[in-house]
Amino acid sequence: MISASHEKAYTSSCQVTWLDRLRTLYQNLIATPITFKISLIAVLAIVAIGIIGPFIVPFDPYATDYAASLAAPNAVHWFGCDAMGRDVFSRVICGTRISVFLSLAAVAIPLVIGAIVGAVAAYAGGWIDEVLMRIADIFQAFPEIILGVAIVGVLGPGLANALFAVVAVMWIRYARLMRSLVLRLLHADFIETARMSGASHRQILVHHMLPHLVPQLLVMGTLDIGFVMLTLASFSFLGLGIQAPTAEWGSMLNDGRLYFASSPYLMVFPGCAIFITVLVFNVFGNCLSDRLERRKGISW
Amino acid sequence: MVDNNHCMSRRQFVVGACATAFAYTTLGQLTGCAASNDNEGTTHDLLTIVYNDAPNSFDPANKWDGWYTSCRGLTETLVAFDEQMNLIPCLSTEWTNEDSLTWRFTIRQGVTFHTGRALTPEAVKASLERSITKSSRAASKLNAASIDVEGNDIVITTTKPVATLSGEIAEPVFSIVDVDHVDSDPSRSGTGPYYGENVDSTENFTLSAFADYWDGAPGVATLNCQTVTDANARAMGLRSGDANIAASLLANDLTALQHDNNYSILTSESVRQVFMICNFANEFLADKAVRQALSYATDRETLCNNLLGGNIYPNGLPFPSYLSYAQAVEDDAQTYDLDKANQLLTDAGYIDSDGDGYREKNGRKISLTLAYYGTRPELPVLAPALQDAYKQIGVEIVPQFYENVDNVYYNGSFDLCLYNTTTIGNGDPSYYLKMYFLSTGSENAGKFSNAELDQIITDMQQNFDQSARFDAAQQAECIILDECPDIFFGTARMNAVCGKGVSGYEVCPVEYYGVTSHMA
């Protein structure tokens, strides 16, 4: 039985560890290679565009002007206009908020769910581990995109259902990663020391194991942002995701498909936006992964 | 240890790669020139035609499948329409209306089915009786009491006067087939210039020329018919050379192709109207004020000329405006007036009380689903535009795309439905009025009912005086425009684009026809 004062003192020592780690992270950032800095700036720029974009665009992304229907890129409409005369540049900028933030949410939610499931499965072991991993096996038996399309097809098109479908197919990888990481640390010397010192299961998981696992989870999550963004865009392209008239890159690709031969810019610009964003996040994720490997001496 | 004697130097590699690339390029150019030179001015052995939709089967008596078999040259009817929608002989050489209940058709001699059996009056009788038995639409069109054979003629006696019978029987549901073989091999039981051989798909299939065709053996030996529902894909198939003929392209593709000498564009004013059906089962659409407001909020000129690039001729009438009975009611046509639309809804008690931009009544927001499908290229373009247009009067529209809209259309599982249909399929206004506006009409999916209109339509069908029928059509149109069960957008233009050197494909106001024996 651990006393409350003993636990409080023990917890205080862990908080010092978190602050030290944040300080070390900042110092490492200063010393990072140029590629990482550029990709980090690009990521921050994309996020910034997503936040302030709707306030700075030259035209209302939903305002129709049939006199400018299918106008080619010009000095007024930099990316041209779609069939309903809506400014494509404004819609691409406003689409950043939905495409990027939805992707971030679609990574964060399964990451948290998967991490909890994986940690519980590995730490508890026994029949709990078997049951949870067999459930993961069932989900993993289906190709991810096919399972996602099937879920959205059954639930119906829409933002919430598309997000649910992505969560349903993505949590498995984080669960398996978390499980393998926890299993590797389960009998480590410092964990045994903590256990013998009287730390509770919660303290072992949260204060001792989690600081070692979060960086790897974050790296994997960052690398998955591109995949999730493409998955959500695919749903919208198929008419299963974001519905009209919401400005979203995937649905813009779908709308532009009818006019690909005569007005290819309707697909080129949202396509380039998806390409650049996915590339930026992938490079950033790779840089994070390299940093982590060099620091830990870990090979994936 | 590496043996460098057999390794290629970097210079040798570059020279070899450049030489190979040059050789392939030159060979490709020469092959392309030779191929194009061979195709100019010669008959094709194989033509590939891409269509926007496909039949459910090759049995012309099954639902609307006869329109497809006729268009693809598999089947024919006793009489046909020409480009001016006049009735012309086909499998019947002449016909007469002997009295109010009796019609006589003389059967053409020397016609053979694909099966080799001769076309006889007995075979025509059997085929017509099969169509009536299998299709309720066919039965209601003819109202036949009996079909008898008298020498080389068949005599149709009706249960009640059917003034438009000669036009009704031109609809491909009455295609003449060999009844002994149509159930086992429907693609090879007609009389058309082409027949199917070992066909196992209605979406992609190959047809062979029928050498014993009564109007002369076709010039093209083989037709490859493919279904490509995406209009852009059809255009791209034509450009790439995968297709020789593409039907129903979008206006922007037609604009891009019209200046290209490698293609010939065939267009025709059609008898198809594009309209939106209101389902009277919906509490909001049962209110005439809402229907009229939707009509007034529809800017047909802008939608048809700007958004659809002129592929639809805008008019707010049930019939194409070039028809006399449509022109007579032009003053009552549905028009665009946004202020009036808003006023109608406000006066009817629909107010945006919560400031979300949409009106409510009795605590319920006006939110309507809009069903549409993709086989008509203008509908997927119209749906989001209408969502935007009706938002301006505070009506929320939720577009819902269906691969096959029949799933919701016939069981009424929609609020609004975008549709495109033939209005004078029998050459007479009664065709459209009877199917879509009669209370018991087979295509009246919105369940619109008006007793006065029902009586007008019923009387029309039994009146052999064409001018009287046209007057009745005007009366019917006035009721329809006043009650507003549908919102009319305009008249579709038919089109097909042929590749260089391809000729003989027909585009008519009514899309029963396309493939002919004169194609080359």
What pTM value is reported for the model?
A: 0.78
Task: Say whether B377 sits in a helix, a strand or coil.
Answer: coil
Q: Torsion angle of alpha carbons B50, B51, B55, B59, nearest 10°?
A: -70
CA distance B475 to B452: 10
> If you average pLDDT over every residue of chain A, what do you get?
86
The first and second tokens of residue B496, run together, are: 């097909």
The amino acid at B253: D
How far apart are the CA of B398 and the nearest CA of chain A, in angstroms?
Answer: 9
ipTM above 0.95, yes or no: no
* Cβ A138 vs Cβ A105: under 8 Å: no
- Burial level of B327, CB count in 10 A (0-12/13-18/19+)? middle
For residue B302, the chain A residues in CB contact (below 8 A) are: 66
Confidence at residue A242, expressed as pLDDT on a 0 to 100 scale? 81
Burial B195-222 (b: 16+ CB within 10 A, else e): bbeebeebeebbbebbeebbeeebbbbb
The first and second tokens of residue A277, run together, are: 């964003």
How far apart are the CA of B295 and the nearest CA of chain A, in angstroms?
Answer: 19
Q: Torsion angle of alpha carbons B41, B44, B45, B46, nearest 10°?
A: 160
Contacting residues for B154 by C-beta, under 8 A, at least 6 apart: B104, B105, B107, B121, B124, B125, B128, B147, B148
The first and second tokens of residue A218, run together, are: 């974050």
The amino acid at A107: V
Average pLDDT over residues A95-100: 90
Using the predicted structure, report yes or no on whether residue A18 has a pLDDT greater than 70: yes
For residue A69, the chain B residues in CB contact (below 8 A) are: 306-307
| Grouped pLDDT means (10 residues each) for chain B, 520 residues | 52 70 54 41 81 93 95 96 90 95 96 96 97 93 94 96 93 96 94 90 93 94 92 90 92 87 90 96 96 97 92 93 91 96 96 94 95 90 94 95 89 95 91 94 94 95 90 96 96 92 90 92
How far apart are the CA of A263 and the nearest CA of chain B, in angstroms?
Answer: 9
- Local confidence band at A5 (pLDDT 50, 70, 90 cut-offs): low
The verdict on A238 touching B (C-beta cutoff 8 Å) is: no
User: Residue B253 is nearest to which of A64, A66, A261, comparing CB atoms?
Assistant: A261
Task: Give the number of A-B residue pairs with CB atoms closer than 8 Å.
Answer: 56
Residue with tokens 């879920």: A151
Interchain proximity B401–A70, CB inside 8 Å: no
The verdict on A259 touching B (C-beta cutoff 8 Å) is: yes
Longest dimension (CA), chain A: 77
The amino acid at B63: K
Tell me the β-bridge partners of B422: B272
The verdict on A87 touching B (C-beta cutoff 8 Å) is: no
Report the topology of domain A34-294.
Answer: MetI-like fold (1.10.3720)
Tell me the β-bridge partners of B79: B89
CA distance B241 to B497: 12
CA distance A285 to B164: 73
For residue B306, the chain A residues in CB contact (below 8 A) are: 66-67, 69, 85
Domain map of chain A by residue range?
A: 1-31, 34-294
The verdict on A139 touching B (C-beta cutoff 8 Å) is: no
* Cβ B253 vs Cβ B231: under 8 Å: yes
DSSP B463: -
- Local confidence band at A140 (pLDDT 50, 70, 90 cut-offs): confident
Beta strands B46-51; B245-247: pairing state: parallel
For residue A243, the chain B residues in CB contact (below 8 A) are: 398-399
Interchain proximity B235–A261, CB inside 8 Å: yes
Query: φ, ψ for residue B190 (rounded to 5)?
Result: -100, -160
Q: How many helices (H) and strands (E) does chain A have?
A: 11, 0
For residue B247, the number of C-alpha atoms closer than 13 Å in the C-beta half-sphere is 26
Interchain proximity B256–A262, CB inside 8 Å: yes
* Cβ B74 vs Cβ B187: under 8 Å: yes
Tens digits of residue pLDDT in A173-192: 999 999 999 998 888 888 88
CA distance A173 to A110: 9
| Chain B residues within 8 Å of chain A (Cβ atoms) | 230-232, 235-236, 239, 250, 252-253, 255-256, 302-303, 306-307, 377, 380-381, 383-385, 387-388, 398-399, 401
The amino acid at A1: M
The first and second tokens of residue B509, run together, are: 């106001």
Residue with tokens 């779908």: A254
Average pLDDT over residues A97-101: 89
Interchain proximity B307–A66, CB inside 8 Å: yes
Tens digits of residue pLDDT in A196-254: 888 888 888 888 888 888 888 888 888 888 888 888 888 888 878 887 788 989 889 98
Count how many residues are written for chain B: 520
Interchain proximity B232–A69, CB inside 8 Å: no
Tens digits of residue pLDDT in A270-286: 999 999 999 999 898 88
CA distance A171 to A241: 19
For residue B383, the chain A residues in CB contact (below 8 A) are: 244
Confidence at residue A24, expressed as pLDDT on a 0 to 100 scale? 77
User: Chain B: residue nearest A68 by CA?
Assistant: B306
CA distance B325 to A206: 81
Interchain proximity B384–A84, CB inside 8 Å: yes
The verdict on A101 touching B (C-beta cutoff 8 Å) is: no
CA distance B460 to A112: 70
